[in-house]
A = this chain, B = another copy of it.
Amino acid sequence: MARKARFDMQQFFQALGDNTRLRLLNLMGEREVCVCYFVEILGAPQPKISRHLAYLRNAGIVSARREGKWMHYRIVMPPHVGATQILRQTLDWLEEDKAMQSDRARLTKACCSPAKYDLEGAPLPAAVSEQCCEAC
């Protein structure tokens, strides 16, 4: 099971070339988010979410961390400066998009009242680096 030799540019862009995956990246941003939140916010079947997260993980764009029953996903910057800048630019671009803004707004709402979103007891999204979640 050899690790990937070099960062695969083609695979990187293919991973970005799907709207569901763009929505997932948009929801993560600088935070670490639990799978159950993705399912709830996107309103998509859980296997679909898992598969797209696996695709992103395989492309080296996100990483997963287990915490008990829950899996947390976060964006990891690729091991290449160019890819990192492209990814950042992409996230900026997503922020301007109406639909993406709506997704993030719903996530914020769900964070503040998880019970209403069938997210009782689920771990809240948390900022990955230093600052805490500005909404909650």
Hey, which bits of chain A sit against chain B, CB under 8 A? 9-19, 22, 80, 82-83, 85-86, 89-90, 92-93, 96-97
Contacts and interface: CB of A to CB of B under 8 A. Distances in A.
Quickly give the copy total for this chain.
2
Residue of A86, A90, A96 ringed by the most chain B CB atoms within 10 A: A86
Contacts of A17: 10-17
A15 B14 CA distance: 9
Looking at chain A's contact residues, the main secondary structure is helix
B10 A19 contact: yes
B86 A82 contact: no
26 contacts: A9-B19, A9-B22, A9-B93, A9-B97, A10-B17, A10-B18, A10-B22, A11-B17, A12-B17, A13-B13, A13-B14, A13-B16, A13-B17, A14-B14, A14-B17, A15-B17, A16-B16, A16-B17, A17-B17, A82-B92, A82-B93, A82-B96, A83-B93, A86-B86, A86-B90, A86-B93
